[in-house]
Structure 1
Amino acid sequence: MDGEYQSLLAPSPEFLATVKVFPLIPSLKKDVARTIDSALSWDQLTASDINFSIVRPIVLKYAKLKNMAVVYACLVVRSYFLAESEAELAYAGVMHSRATLCEILAMKLLSRFASNHIQLVAVLTTRWNPLAGAPFEIAEQVRQAVGGDEDDIDSAQSALEMAISTQAKAFLASPVSQKVVNDIYSGRIVFSMSGSRSILADNYKPRAIELYDCRTAPFIDHYRLRVPRYGAILEFLNFALLLLTFILCLSNQDKAAVTVWEMAFVLFAVAFTLEEYTAATEHGWIIYIANLWNVFDFSFIAVFILYLVLRIQGLHNNDLDASSMAFDILSCGACILFPRLAFFAISNNVVILSLRAMVSQFVFFIGIAAVCFSGLLFALWTLGKDADPAPSLKSIAWLMTQIWFGNTSLSFGQAERFHPVFGPILMITFAALANTLLLTILISLLSNTVARIDANATQEYLFQFAIATMEGVKSDALFSYQPPFNILAFVILKPATWFLSPRALHSTNVFLIKLTSLPTLILIGVYERYFAAGQRFRESGRDAAQSLFNSLPRHIKNMPLVEALVGSSSNGVYEAIFDVDFTSEMELFDDSDDDFPTLQSFQSSTRNGGLQTTPTPKRKKLRPSSLGPPSPRGSPRARSLNPPVVEPSHSAELPASSSRSPLAVLFGSRMPSSDSVTRVEATANRIEVLMKDLHELPVQKLKEEMKDLQDRQARIESLLLVLTRGMRNETHRQETFP
């Protein structure tokens, strides 16, 4: 499939502009609010009965519209109910259940577009305007209610961005969403996002969504710099250079003059700050700060800005103390830079994923404890005014901090210094609370946080992976430049946007990108054409290595070290077994003997002539013990009473048996003719065969299944009565429920 055909499968920008988004939002809000009137958990909402009676009808209703913005609309309604759950605390459980239902609807409606992969990508990555398709009067009311600029009102977001901002982790962790996220991350999907909040926007050539093929793409393709996978590698290299210049700057610091290494560090740090500011502007602060590593980056930027201000002040006023303070502050940035670089290698670890939640819980708890103990700080400072010398607030705060972290003996030695009576009481109370109660509560909170993150480690990792992927797909032109060349591009292209046409600006931008990133583009082109997965050079090299391994002696291949590096040869045998086509002579059983019960869907069952849970068993040959009740073991007389084997022949009549059956004895006295007696006996034997076959049918199993279906229907009817009870009392509920 060539690139032109693939691009034709994608919806055009003109078609996407005609999609109506706004009518979906109030309709979904109404249906979800009318359906859910009680607090339900995720497990309850995904149960089979709720899915059959509530979720499936809504999905079928909106799937008929074939509107590509329906997934985005579900997530918008989810954001509304999440906001309502925080505003209406009395109905927080109900609102949260409605938000959860919106996420489930988004997951199920997304699977409706999975047949066309490019269309699926368009559903998730297209930036929809929530006011698209709204009447003019409603749009004006929204503008008056929101206020602000026209650009703020018309700002659009994609479904993936909405899922990140609403914390829809189950939606992002679903296989359909992760398929798109993985393709975007690896660069198999090519699309361009029009930048509405970009610092340097280049929207001259919007590209339709297509599958990337290196055979048809140009060798030097500047769009490959925006692939999140390559962006992560380049980001690691840029951060390593920043760390190297940071170390050299502090190792060769000169408070009276600026060294070469300090100039290099300032240049890379300014470029790094510009890159992070562009990322925060591109996707918004909510999505930017949702990434754990961006918190580290923002902290380092704050340290760097404070260092730069003090350093400029010290150089301008020849103040060595200010320059010394600037370097001291910059030295504290090592506590951020070194872990930040190390976390690149272990970013997928469960401990790292739970680190952010633990830090937020710790900071929140310490903040509450500091506010609570501020009264004790003021009380000790007031009681200690009469002491000689009087302790300051700083010394008292430092003393309380030492006691908080375990140095309890200080509370007994310094207690009477504040007051002979109240000092020991207050200090012992603080020591007991700090080291026993509050510390135990803090450990319990952090343990519960780690356990919760560990239980949902997969969703948390996929959520962070989706954030990193969406941050990597940026429309701002500055992201195609590697630091410190992004400063050069900003200085040249930003003023050029004021007088250059979009075509000329695009040509200048492409030229500068290829000029500054030519070695990187060449490496990417060589890798994708020769060394990437599925390429001929890599496959041939793998085959050569496998042939070399197979030619080794057996005692070398069976060495533990070689087997650990290459793998066991038995695994290859197991995989090759299932790739071999078996002949019909190897079949152990006949296809006609497969009488296993099968579970069919309703559509397939109706096509086959009706519902069928178990196949009709074939007629078997009658054995001596098949007619009549089983005889007790060890009774030869009872065995001799069994009739002989009845073998049905190909003729219309059955052979006469040596002993007459009970039915033959019953009707035999009324039939004087011998021919009629023979026919009656044959008919009786045939009836006995049919009755035996009737007894062998799974009638009892069918009865049990029918009873099970009746019980299930009764449970569904009772559940519907419970769920619609609020609708019957709708007039009364509207007075108390918004």
Structure 2
Amino acid sequence: MDEEQSRTLLAPTTEYLASIKVFPLIPSIKKDVVVNTALSWDQLTASDVNFAIVRPLVFKYAKLKNMAIVYACFVVRSHFQSEAEDDLAYSGVQLSRASLCEILAMKLLGTFASNQIRLVSVLTASWNPLAGAPREIVNEVCDAVGDDGYIFEPQCALELAIATVSKGFLSSPIVQTVVNDIYAGRVVFSMSSNRSVLADNYKPRPIEIYDCRNAPFLDHYRLRVPRYGAIMEFLNFALLLTTFLLCLSSRDVNYMNGFEIVFVIFALAFALEEYTASKEHGWGIYVADLWNVFDTSFIIIFFAYMGFRIKGLVKTDVNSSEMAFDILACGACILFPRLAFFAVSNNVVVLALRAMISEFIFFIAIAAICFSGLLFTLHNLASDKWSLKGIAWLMVQIWFGNTYLSFGQAESFHPIFGPILMTCFAALSNTLLLTILISILSNTFARIDANAKQEYLFQFAISTIQGVKSDALFSYQPPFNLFAFLILWPLSLILSPRALHTTNVFLIRLTAFPTLIMIGIYERYLAEGQKWRESGSAQYLYNSLTRRVKKIPILDLIGSSSTDMYDAIFDIEVADDLELFESDGEHEYDPLRSMHSMHSPSHDSLRPPSISLPAAPPGPSAGGRRHASLPRSPSARSTRGARSPTASPRRRKNTLPPVIQTSSGEVPTVGPRSPLSKLFLGRREREPSERVAAATARVEALLEDVRALPVNKLKDEMKELQERQARIENLLVTLTRGMRSTDQPVRNGTL
């Protein structure tokens, strides 16, 4: 069983996820997030706040090992954001608490990072906020909110993070790892939703790691992979733009030609796709992506065109048909940049353009409301000369720089108040308000430029979550989704869930047969980058070519590259005897030995003790005893000179017989060898002397490292206890001798 299969087996089951209690976490987190002052994000992530507030909370909730803890943090964050909007006096404090919830979610998510499938489950599993709540609390919530069928709508942590605009959380590396896996299709799961236009919930897919070797070749679930969905969305948008241009180029006000009919079909299919997307995830997540606002604007233009076009065809009104085509032509202002922005969607200019358009529209709306009073005043002063439309158009021209009109037409409104009002309006619009607008847009661009990566990752997370949809219509590409809706929606009312699922799968594979074949070939032979090049036939063909032919750039795809060579170096097993440096102790460098030598001036006390060997075999007076190794005294060590802490072991000369003579400088052993000496010197006859010397040097280095360990303190305490024990023994011996001396005359008398 490979690693991917083992990870699949560790995926939490649906029963286990349903048994997790979510509601008790929410009031507990709300109670523990105590920040009573307004703090910025940098202040909340500072070391003092982290150690004083964040870390204790992380340790507290990490012990629970509750997979819904990240989701609960965002539920509390949404509560504090709502409180900040309602209570403006303490909005700073509430926003600080909301940011702390986001930081806490980031920290707690790291506790699940050891298991990939568990990490994915924490972020993508759908949770019910009332799971684990008492029945009376559920009833109170139902009474407060109103049980409209959506109160128990499940939602995952990623969706709630997008809804609460948690850009720091979504742009963190651990979250982006999961988002990238979802986008590339390496992680497969089904998001549950009860708001689908056409639901097919017969076989909900559990969270798993995708393996193309175990999946069918025509896997219709791969059509919902966001990466493939983005490519097909670009192609569908290009087809929509092509039919749009053909429709306008062959316009006919009397009847609908073929190009116009094709455009209407594609536009209706595009509108159905956008409607199902907004219904699937909710309007809040849908409008979070600015491009969806552009798509919605084009749909509004299209339906306005359809209204005037139907009126013109039914009543044979040429003016209505002309107006319909004029309105449709305005859609080019959206379609052309929308298609171009597909290629540069992650550019900082495009990211800043989104925010600047929003700021510009908001500022223009505020200015229009402010100057509506001036419009009403001018209309009342010269209602007989100027119409309301004419005055509004004059004010727009003055607003965009044509100040000559304000002075030329001022007296036509009123001889006294007209010049005063128009001069004030020209000064405010061209000097003050435009300067403010430029400053706002410049600050917006600077802010987006500073946080361009975070903004892009936030938008990328939105598009990825939008790509993972459970609605059955998303498996059909326009215009087939329109036909699938017309066929499957009536059948869903009469067929069983299994029959509906079978029919749905058949229609998906029938309408997307070429696309599924291309996806299957890509994932099995091209997706891994070099998998298709690793086959023996391709490599054999490349090796059979001449060197001149191999230099052709296109053939580099077949042959091995430098990256393959680098990978192969680390794949092979290197023998242990392949040494770069000499084994002699004079040239060996031990990092641990050098590091510990900085803390201790000398290591001679831990060196192997010297042995005093006699010049001749011991006589009978010695009793045949071996000479014990005695440690050198401090005075003797001082007379030999101070030794450098980082010096390598020196070689000692000895007069041992040639049988046991070594060149490594180790202390010779007389008589039977100890187990340690057998370990390092047992193969002396078979191994070179340099290896024996290196082994001895390593032992000496380890002995020197031992000195830096806390065992020295224990040795000193043991030595002190031994000295106390020796004193007590001497005292006892003295007392017993005194008692024996007093008892000896008595015994002699008895004898």
| 2:165 counterpart SS class | coil
Partners in 1 of 2:174 and 2:545 — Cα distance?
39
Counterpart check, 1:516 vs 2:511: yes
Structure 1's 520 and 155: CA in aligned 2 closer, same or farther, altered over 3 A? same
What displacement does 1:98 show? 0.8
**Contact 2:533-2:557 within 8 A present in 1 as well:** no
What displacement does 1:593 show? 4.8
The correspondence of residues 558-707 of structure 1 with structure 2, limited to 5 A, is 585-587=579-581, 590-595=588-593, 616-617=599-600, 619=602, 650=610, 683-684=634-635, 686=637
Residue equivalent to 1:674: none
Deviations for 1:334-370, whole angstroms, at most 9, x for unmatched residues? 1001111111111110111111210111011111111
Counterpart check, 1:28 vs 2:29: yes
What displacement does 1:550 show? 10
**Contact 2:154-2:192 within 8 A present in 1 as well:** no
Q: TM-score, normalised by structure 1?
A: 0.78
Counterpart check, 1:451 vs 2:446: yes
Counterpart check, 1:100 vs 2:132: no
After the TM superposition, which of the residue ranges 468-477 and 43-52 deviates more from structure 2?
Answer: 43-52
Gaps of 5+ in 1: 598-612, 623-646, 653-680, 698-738
Residue equivalent to 2:364: 366
Deviations for 1:203-248, whole angstroms, at most 9, x for unmatched residues? 1111221111111111111111111111111111111111111111
Residue equivalent to 1:11: 12
Partners in 1 of 2:451 and 2:393 — Cα distance?
39
| 2:150 counterpart SS class | helix
**Contact 2:77-2:99 within 8 A present in 1 as well:** yes
Partners in 1 of 2:289 and 2:450 — Cα distance?
20
**Contact 1:595-1:617 within 8 A present in 2 as well:** no
| 1:152 counterpart SS class | coil
**Contact 2:74-2:161 within 8 A present in 1 as well:** yes
What displacement does 1:391 show? 1.2
Residue equivalent to 1:625: none
Partners in 1 of 2:85 and 2:546 — Cα distance?
65
**Contact 1:199-1:278 within 8 A present in 2 as well:** yes
| 1:585 counterpart SS class | coil
What displacement does 1:616 show? 3.4
Partners in 2 of 1:565 and 1:454 — Cα distance?
38
Residue equivalent to 1:47: 46
The correspondence of residues 182-193 of structure 1 with structure 2, limited to 5 A, is 182-193=180-191
Q: Which residue, out of 131, 155, 173, partners 2:153?
A: 155
**Contact 1:416-1:424 within 8 A present in 2 as well:** yes
Structure 1's 118 and 573: CA in aligned 2 closer, same or farther, altered over 3 A? closer
Q: State the structure with more CA Rg.
A: 2
| 2:412 counterpart SS class | helix
Counterpart check, 1:481 vs 2:484: no
Deviations for 1:311-331, whole angstroms, at most 9, x for unmatched residues? 111111111111110110000
Partners in 1 of 2:99 and 2:638 — Cα distance?
61
Residue equivalent to 1:81: 80
Structure 1's 261 and 691: CA in aligned 2 closer, same or farther, altered over 3 A? same
Structure 1's 503 and 55: CA in aligned 2 closer, same or farther, altered over 3 A? same
Partners in 2 of 1:159 and 1:312 — Cα distance?
45
The correspondence of residues 354-503 of structure 1 with structure 2, limited to 5 A, is 354-385=352-383, 390-503=385-498
Partners in 1 of 2:511 and 2:300 — Cα distance?
29
Partners in 2 of 1:16 and 1:70 — Cα distance?
12
Residue equivalent to 2:211: 213
Gaps of 5+ in 2: 613-631, 646-703, 705-751
What displacement does 1:293 show? 1.2
Deviations for 1:598-638, whole angstroms, at most 9, x for unmatched residues? xxxxxxxxxxxxxxx9963462799xxxxxxxxxxxxxxxx
Partners in 1 of 2:219 and 2:601 — Cα distance?
66
Structure 1's 648 and 222: CA in aligned 2 closer, same or farther, altered over 3 A? closer
**Contact 1:195-1:203 within 8 A present in 2 as well:** no
Partners in 2 of 1:548 and 1:283 — Cα distance?
55
Structure 1's 352 and 65: CA in aligned 2 closer, same or farther, altered over 3 A? same
Partners in 1 of 2:192 and 2:161 — Cα distance?
20
Counterpart check, 1:117 vs 2:116: yes
Aligned residues: 626
Structure 1's 205 and 591: CA in aligned 2 closer, same or farther, altered over 3 A? farther
Residue equivalent to 2:139: 140
Partners in 2 of 1:553 and 1:93 — Cα distance?
69
**Contact 1:195-1:202 within 8 A present in 2 as well:** no
**Contact 2:154-2:193 within 8 A present in 1 as well:** no
Structure 1's 454 and 224: CA in aligned 2 closer, same or farther, altered over 3 A? same
Cα RMSD (Å) = 3.6
Structure 1's 578 and 189: CA in aligned 2 closer, same or farther, altered over 3 A? closer
Residue equivalent to 1:551: 547
Residue equivalent to 1:641: none
Q: Which residue, out of 271, 277, 280, partners 1:279?
A: 277
Q: Which residue, out of 222, 230, 233, partners 1:232?
A: 230
What displacement does 1:648 show? 12
Residue equivalent to 1:664: none
Q: TM-score, normalised by structure 2?
A: 0.77
